[in-house]
Structure 1
């Protein structure tokens, strides 16, 4: 803690010493000469020495006042320069975008390089959380919600539709559904499970096969961890094709067979109006452009089969 006298008295002294006049100092600071005299007297009492000689119609600095004045002048000049530099500095406009942990890590982060070109002058803050944030309270400027849609009180726009299919490392040599029994099934815990949730039991039912876990099962609380386990070759995941698109394109993961289950959808949502409407609109346009480019990218095919599949028009018969 700095041991300072009142700043008002220091300011009064600097102005009076610069003008060598209590009246001119009072005019500059928009107070009365009596107030200036009182503040300087307060400073003199604080330092224990006289700083001015009061003469008829003028004041003169004492030797102590002459010693103090350069430090006060330099200090107030430095303060003025600091404040002025802040006024001249361009304001950094920051927009906070909230999304789930997995979507932030696997879809947003690989695309932030394009953000600077699309939104010059804006800074992007990514808020990763599986708990929905309160956009009306200002926890974020906009968010990407995953679900069926319908977000009351918020403007919502479809970003991406999701789908789920078995994926695994090509090192596992998985070529047909019968190979599922040779490896662990990987899954993560959904926050809510209903008839539309893309789960392994639902996938087996769609494939017309009994739900079996002969190779065991690995369960993760976080979706990203389940996907990393699949990339590492620890088993077969029923994965979001949106979130593993990069690994499918690079060959780190393969999608050996179907069927494909419909997932939910990603929506860009934000509160209506507000002074940040244009900044939010810029980020929303960037997201929609990235989603359009993502949709236009051809989906990679699965591995070439070594054994021919029996001919049939039925999906379930092909998978038996």
Structure 2
């Protein structure tokens, strides 16, 4: 039986680390933790039976085997990207392509989109779901809403405000925050440990998910208190689906950034509308 291929994520981690000669920089680019990138590269090395990097105190040095593998992996990733783009067919007249995570599409855009389409019924939409921050480098969209740090996406983009972290729960879930199950989205730099104040008992999550959207869904079904980006919370608060579990708003090192194709009038119009939603979404605590 033919041996199965290593996971694609292993190759992505290797390719990014090889370009940057740093697990930390690779992690920032592809939206993983530094330890996750290091582990995936180590798994690839174990699978191939060779060392791809020499780990040094000041960074990485690629080995001869790593240099041999690098161009092949780069070419394969570019080929996969081109193959995906080849299916982007159909009429583009009045079609606005928006790239964002499922979380943003579900919890930020969907509850508000009817107000935009009422103003502009002639505009059609195509939503592209993104998972990794570097997905935005391989797709073509008129409007992009990536999640990450200012270093990653701040150039030429606008941070959607408010960008703090808030605790959300179902209105049917009774009890004090300290006594309820806590839900945390992994892959962000700020969590319950950063949110809590010195006078609080240690807050330890019981449920880990991979996105703010999943955390909000868990909370909406009464599974606990979700710590999420504040900008996502207002439609849920306005509808009554969720309530604040605590008045504290903690700063976050990451946020949702908005950028639009400046040469596309419809993209600029949609960007301005999105920014209006953020400004007008404030709900008193």
Q: TM-score range by the shorter chain?
A: 0.5 to 0.7
1:161-310 alignment, distance < 5 Å: 161-175=162-176, 177=177, 180-181=178-179, 183-190=180-187, 192-193=188-189, 197=190, 199-204=191-196, 206-213=197-204, 217-263=206-252, 264-273=254-263, 277-295=264-282, 298-299=283-284, 301=285
Instruction: Number of aligned residue pairs: give it.
Output: 194
* Deviation of the 1:108 alpha carbon: 0.6
The 8 Å contact of residues 160 and 267 in structure 1, kept in 2 or not, is answered as no
C-alpha spacing 1:129/1:238, structure 2 compared with 1 (3 Å): same
* Deviation of the 1:148 alpha carbon: 3.4
* Deviation of the 1:122 alpha carbon: 2.1
CA displacement, residues 205-241 of structure 1 (integer Å, 9 cap, x when unaligned): x24223144xx70111233222111111111222223
Structure 1 residue matching 2:141: 3-state secondary structure = coil
Find the counterpart in structure 2 of residue 112 from structure 1.
113
The normalised TM-score by structure 1 is 0.53
CA displacement, residues 126-180 of structure 1 (integer Å, 9 cap, x when unaligned): 22212236667662122012333356796323332312122222323224x5xx2
The normalised TM-score by structure 2 is 0.58
Distance in structure 2 (CA, Å) of the matches to 1:103 and 1:185: 22
* Deviation of the 1:101 alpha carbon: 1.7
Q: Which runs of 5+ in 1 are unaligned?
A: 1-89, 302-320
C-alpha spacing 1:152/1:185, structure 2 compared with 1 (3 Å): closer
C-alpha spacing 1:217/1:137, structure 2 compared with 1 (3 Å): closer
Give 1 or 2 for the bigger CA radius of gyration: 1
1:33-72 alignment, distance < 5 Å: none
The 8 Å contact of residues 150 and 156 in structure 1, kept in 2 or not, is answered as no
The 8 Å contact of residues 261 and 268 in structure 2, kept in 1 or not, is answered as no
The 8 Å contact of residues 135 and 270 in structure 1, kept in 2 or not, is answered as no
The 8 Å contact of residues 170 and 241 in structure 2, kept in 1 or not, is answered as yes
Distance in structure 1 (CA, Å) of the matches to 2:109 and 2:154: 25
C-alpha spacing 1:203/1:285, structure 2 compared with 1 (3 Å): closer
Structure 1 residue matching 2:131: 3-state secondary structure = coil
CA displacement, residues 296-318 of structure 1 (integer Å, 9 cap, x when unaligned): xx33x4xxxxxxxxxxxxxxxxx
* Deviation of the 1:200 alpha carbon: 0.9
* Deviation of the 1:96 alpha carbon: 0.5
The 8 Å contact of residues 135 and 142 in structure 1, kept in 2 or not, is answered as no
Structure 2 residue matching 1:124: 3-state secondary structure = strand
C-alpha spacing 1:164/1:92, structure 2 compared with 1 (3 Å): same
Find the counterpart in structure 1 of residue 10 from structure 2.
none
Structure 2 residue matching 1:172: 3-state secondary structure = coil
Structure 1 residue matching 2:133: 3-state secondary structure = coil
Distance in structure 2 (CA, Å) of the matches to 1:239 and 1:111: 19
The 8 Å contact of residues 98 and 144 in structure 2, kept in 1 or not, is answered as yes
Distance in structure 1 (CA, Å) of the matches to 2:160 and 2:154: 18
